[in-house]
């Protein structure tokens, strides 16, 4: 099955104008299933970054954008409506450049985050950007204290390749609703989704020139120039921990606000009384969802030793049942890896696991019959030592490491034995028991017996090297707001009351 990629010429969006890169350079956008170029993309340079940031800075200083909450809400609603009108074009671009199965676009790859832009519309309208703190008895003068939450200014939003539209919506929505101006920089592996949204902003919304800018580039130095630019006040990045560290180091020179959503190595713990067969049947395809290219994927499965071999037998049955193939086929569960380079990296990590004593239960290579596409089989590796590479490093592929344990204390220790702390799951015959164990795992989010944390109003983010700050929900919205306090004489203490602006 196949579908045409919409015919449009991707361009940068700088100061309200759709434009090629100043250098005229372009780079290829490759369909990871068909292994063919779907078109060329503007390859922005540092000079384009300078222009985009300058436009965003002038817009923030000179326009009423940051103060006119109702206008911002209207503009975000216009963007949501435009994306919904063009949802089928976005779907085709998304599947073509990401290789994600089309069923995912009916959910959190596309339709859900676009629809949820309305939540940021509501926050822009109702949020109390100004409020008063009550007088404090220790103050010599009866003081009122005005607490002001205001936008940072120019925000650099850097999005990943695995969920490009979702991450665009979950960054652009709150950043604009809070009153910031933005420079959006998508992954060079999936640039067209952002470029298409930039086209909609320019042609179908009243978002003023300079408020929303889009830069596509193949060069890391361009991202570094964006992060380092003195007029950029905040950086919000989703991607690998190593790149996040680099961004944090560059931002530190300017003492910039940084929010990071980084890697994960999440543990799924089946307790002694859990239904191990059901857990394994869930976990193998869950790890392979979107070809394993998800930071919250449950990539370590901890099984009680008494049920370990039985669990592996089930995994050996389930792995080959994971359907892979054309992402445009509604029956496909697993599409390709994003690129040849990444496919080779995943296969290399599987080889490393073998060399460190891991036993391949199922998968471990390229699927038989994969004549096109950067595929890796749904892979389960047993006899994994908790300190081994495959247990410690994020693979970002459809690879599940299975680790036995002898006691609940050991299971908790293994789960916490990671530099990451993003997500995880606990399974038990008792919800209360599973919840108690989940509270002991040092991660930002956890599932218990299939009940998930995943929702737009969840304050989502990680602990340890899985990130800084939170996104989604009101907590995520407030990441895009700085805080000021002004003390002033309170002539009539009884008049102190919460206000909003």
Residues classed as catalytic: 261, 295
User: Can you name the residues that pair with 372 across neighbouring β-strands?
Assistant: none
Rounded distance, CA 353 to CA 391, Å? 9
Which of 165, 61, 78, 127 is closest to 477 using CA atoms?
A: 127
Q: What is the CA radius of gyration of the chain?
A: 24
Q: Which residues contact 425 (CB under 8 A, 6 or more apart)?
A: 266, 267, 268, 269, 298, 446, 447, 448
- In this structure, are strands 481-489 and 143-151 parallel, antiparallel, or unpaired? antiparallel
Q: What angle do CA 391, 394, 399 make, to 5 degrees?
A: 70
Rounded distance, CA 211 to CA 190, Å? 22
Q: Which residues contact 48 (CB under 8 A, 6 or more apart)?
A: 12, 14, 21, 22, 215, 217, 222
Q: How many CB atoms lie within 10 A of CB 462?
A: 27
Which of 350, 415, 344 is closest to 389 using CA atoms?
A: 350
164-184: b (≥16 Cβ within 10 Å) or e: bbbbbbbbbbbbbbbbbbbbb
Q: Tell me the torsion sign for CA atoms 228, 231, 236, 237.
A: negative
CB 109 within 8 Å of CB 447: no
Range list of H helices, 186-265: 192-204, 220-228, 241-252
């Amino acid at each position: 099955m196949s579908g045409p990629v919409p015919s449009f010429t991707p361009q940068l969006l700088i100061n309200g104008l759709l434009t090629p890169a100043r250098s005229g350079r372009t780079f290829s956008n490759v369909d990871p299933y068909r292994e063919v170029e779907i078109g060329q993309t503007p390859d922005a340079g540092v000079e384009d970054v300078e222009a985009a940031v300058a436009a965003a800075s002038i817009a923030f200083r000179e326009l009423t954008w940051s103060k006119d909450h109702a206008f911002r809400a209207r503009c975000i609603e216009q963007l949501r409506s435009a994306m919904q009108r063009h949802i089928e074009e976005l779907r085709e671009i998304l599947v073509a450049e990401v290789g994600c199965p089309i069923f995912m676009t009916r959910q959190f790859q596309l339709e859900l985050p676009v629809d949820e832009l309305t939540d940021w519309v509501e926050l822009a309208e109702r949020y109390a950007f100004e409020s008063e703190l009550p007088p404090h008895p220790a103050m010599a003068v009866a003081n009122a204290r005005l607490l002001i939450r205001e936008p940072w200014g120019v925000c650099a939003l850097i999005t990943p390749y695995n969920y490009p539209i979702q991450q665009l919506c979950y960054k652009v929505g709150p950043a604009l609703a809070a009153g910031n101006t933005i420079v959006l920089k998508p992954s060079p592996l999936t640039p067209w989704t952002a470029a298409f949204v930039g086209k909609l902003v320019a042609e179908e919304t009243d978002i003023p020139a300079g408020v929303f800018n889009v830069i596509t580039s193949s060069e890391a130095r361009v991202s570094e120039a964006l992060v380092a630019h003195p007029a950029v006040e905040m950086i919000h990045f989703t991607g690998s921990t190593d790149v996040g560290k680099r961004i944090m180091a560059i931002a530190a020179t300017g003492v910039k606000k940084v929010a990071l959503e980084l890697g994960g190595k999440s543990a799924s713990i089946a307790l002694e009384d859990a239904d191990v067969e059901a857990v394994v049947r869930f976990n193998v395809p869950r790890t392979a969802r979107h070809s394993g290219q998800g930071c919250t994927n449950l990539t370590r499965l901890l099984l009680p030793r008494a049920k370990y071999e039985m669990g592996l037998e089930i995994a050996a049955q389930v792995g080959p049942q994971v359907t892979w193939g054309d992402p445009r086929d509604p029956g496909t569960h697993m599409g390709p890896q994003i690129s040849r380079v990444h496919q080779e990296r995943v296969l290399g990590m599987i080889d490393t696991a073998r060399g460190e004593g891991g036993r391949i239960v199922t998968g471990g290579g390229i699927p038989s019959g994969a004549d096109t596409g950067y595929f890796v089989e749904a892979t389960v590796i047993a006899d994994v030592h908790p300190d081994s590479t495959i247990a410690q490093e994020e693979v970002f592929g459809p690879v599940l490491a299975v680790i036995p344990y002898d006691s609940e204390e050991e299971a908790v220790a293994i789960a916490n034995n990671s530099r990451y702390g993003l997500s995880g799951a606990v399974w038990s015959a008792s919800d209360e028991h599973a919840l108690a164990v989940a509270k002991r795992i040092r991660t930002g989010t956890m599932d218990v017996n299939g009940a998930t944390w995943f929702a737009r109003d969840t304050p989502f983010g990680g602990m340890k090297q899985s990130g800084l700050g939170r996104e989604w929900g009101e907590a995520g919205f407030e990441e895009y707001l700085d805080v000021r306090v002004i003390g002033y004489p309170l002539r009539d203490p009884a008049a102190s009351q919460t206000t909003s602006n």
